[in-house]
Chain A
Amino acid sequence: MNHHPGAWGQTLTPHQRFDAYSSSAPSRYQPSSAGSGVVGNDHGMYDAGNEAVMAGGTGVVGHTQQPLVTGTSVLGLVFDGGVMLAADNLASYGSLARFRDIQRLIPLESSKHSSSCLAVGGDMSDFQYLQKQLETMITNERTQALGDDHPSLGPRQIYEYLSNLMYARRSKMDPLWNAMLLGGVKDGESFLGYVDLLGTTYTSPTLASGFGSHMAQPLLREAYESRQAQGKSGEREGELMSRDEAVAVLEDCMKVLYYRDARSMNKYQIATITASGVDISASKSNETEWKFAEGLRGYGPQKQ
């Protein structure tokens, strides 16, 4: 199976559908009635009724092998004074734009002295489960941190917890089907990190998941690096983008993604995480221009 976030929610070609290693685990409830090797439906998407057929009946537990309702890429950027995250408001059901008012940015108030926010793409039910887990852990730690015998959580600690959780789940062959960015500020220090369903982690001043890692990450890096260069050469003060500059870059990236990512929507939010807290903007959209598409084959009136 193709686990790359860019392939989430895509239908499979017959070639891709051939499952050489019989990777869909057999059910322990139903005795085997059909051999494995081919996903048994013709649309190539998950089919609950067909699970028993897909499974070989060898007593092995079957786990979710593909996401159902998905959110697309999320973006993150370190700026002067904090971190910004962006995600659109869409949760797709396959290629259908099913839920169009979903907030995929969640503020995590772990202590008085730090603020963090999570931006999530991938399976929305796994995301909701994850949110509950995180909030339980954070509330628990926060109540204990009132005493002097327990440290409070910062973004780095939450990131570590998330990474361990995601890696543990993939090691059980039962991953939480998400790719997410965690941004936060503690003691004036900004943090931005990536975790996905494989337990892969990395940190960087600019980050994007899924389709965004192809389309937006180069734009974010370009903006970040040119600002660094200008700062170093003394053309401008400081080496990080201002709040307004960061918003402009993110808006531009969201626009590019909306033009090219068929699972995106022109309605998104930006979370600004600073020492004073997490501010999540109201939903906004970009001006777009589709005139050029009239000349494109398959979009305009012309036939082949």
Chain B
Amino acid sequence: MSSIGTGYDLSVSTYSPDGRLFQVEYAAKAAENAGLSIGLKCTDGIVLAVEKIVQSKLLVKGANRRIMSLDNHVGMVSSGLLADGRHLAKRGREEAQSYRDQYGAPMTLKALIERVAMYEHAYTCYGSVRPFGISTIMAGVDKTGPQLYVVEPSGSYYGYRASAVGKGKQLAKTELEKLDLSTITVKQGVMEVARIAHLVHDDNKEGNFELEMTWIGPETKGFHEHVPSQLLQEAEEAAKRALEEAMEED
């Protein structure tokens, strides 16, 4: 890539002769190589999960949470540079709050994702800034029902039934495609997402990981909350059992 990019990858405000923005592509690379994030839209809510590689044994277990809330009814998780994710979440919160102040109603996901994506896009238009090094899943339940979107560093966004970003996203997406997404509930979703996270993760290559999971569903009264630790534990144990059984069959 270096031979192709030479001279045209120094600024995000310069196209290459074949019409590419190399800085934006490099930002996408930063997102692709970070821990996996999964989002799932169910019939009665949404599930978000992130695979957190344990960087040091000195870190407290369960600390350093990665999934964030933008409003009562909206959750967000991103793969890539952590600080970029936090900054984007801060912006998302401000947008959601200002919408509430102005219109007296919770923001729809469609409106929120539009504003957040335009904010990200602005960082691909000027030579003085760098694009966000994150791929972001934003999901929530608004007046139109459960919604899920993914925003890329370029500022482009798409709505999905389920998606994954970060390392191993291809395999995770293939697994998500096998689910019956038109009938799945959040309870089933939690089990499936845990299974997929454990399936995609390679302990030998990447070391141990912690699974963090949040949801919005019948049990959370429309609020974005952490999946109860007991349920998460059950889901992880079931995931490990399923993997072992699959190994034995092979």
Contact = CB atoms under 8 A, between A and B. Distances in A.
Contact of A146 (B63, B97, B100, B224): B224
Interface string A119-147: 00000000000001000100110111011
B214 interface: yes
A139 B106 CA distance: 11
Interface string B208-227: 00000010000011011110
- Most B CB contacts (10 A, CB to CB) among A132, A136, A139, A143 go to A143
Given A109-B223, A148-B62, A143 B101 contact: no
Interface string B147-168: 0000000000000000000000
Contact of A147 (B65, B97, B225): B65
B68 interface: yes
A143 B221 CA distance: 15
A143 B73 CA distance: 9
Given A136-B100, A148-B62, A148-B63, A143 B225 contact: no
A140 B65 contact: no
A112 interface: yes
A140 B174 CA distance: 37
Contact of B223 (A112, A147, A148): A112
B172 interface: no
Q: How large is the interface on B (under 10, 10 to 19, 20 to 34, 35 or more residues)?
A: 20 to 34
A87 to B, nearest CB: 23
Nearest to A143: B69
Interface in B61-112: 62-65, 67-72, 75, 93, 97, 100-101
A143 B65 contact: no
Contacts of B93: 140, 143
A139 B101 CA distance: 12
Contact of B97 (A109, A140, A148): A140
Contacts of B67: 146
Contacts of B71: 139, 143
Nearest to A112: B225
B219 to A, nearest CB: 10
A144 to B, nearest CB: 8
Contacts of A132: 101
Contacts of B75: 146
Contacts of A142: 69, 72, 223
Interface string A66-98: 000000000000000000000000000000000
B80 to A, nearest CB: 18
Given A112-B223, A146-B226, A148-B62, A136 B97 contact: yes
A163 B23 CA distance: 51
Contacts of B225: 112, 146
Contacts of B214: 146
A144 B69 CA distance: 7
A290 to B, nearest CB: 42
A275 to B, nearest CB: 15
Given A139-B72, A140-B93, A148 B65 contact: yes
Contacts of B220: 112
A146 B62 contact: no
Contacts of B221: 109
A48 B116 CA distance: 44
A112 B220 CA distance: 8
A162 B130 CA distance: 42
Contacts of A112: 220, 223, 225
B72 A143 contact: yes
B97 A139 contact: yes
A166 B63 CA distance: 37
A146 B64 contact: no
Nearest to B101: A136
Nearest to B62: A148
A241 to B, nearest CB: 28
A140 B92 CA distance: 12
A139 B224 CA distance: 11
Interface of A: 109, 112, 132, 136, 139-140, 142-144, 146-148
11 contacts: A112-B220, A112-B223, A136-B97, A139-B71, A139-B72, A143-B70, A144-B69, A146-B68, A146-B69, A146-B224, A147-B65
Given A142-B72, A148-B62, 12 more contacts: A112-B220, A136-B97, A136-B101, A142-B69, A142-B223, A143-B71, A143-B72, A146-B69, A147-B68, A148-B63, A148-B64, A148-B65
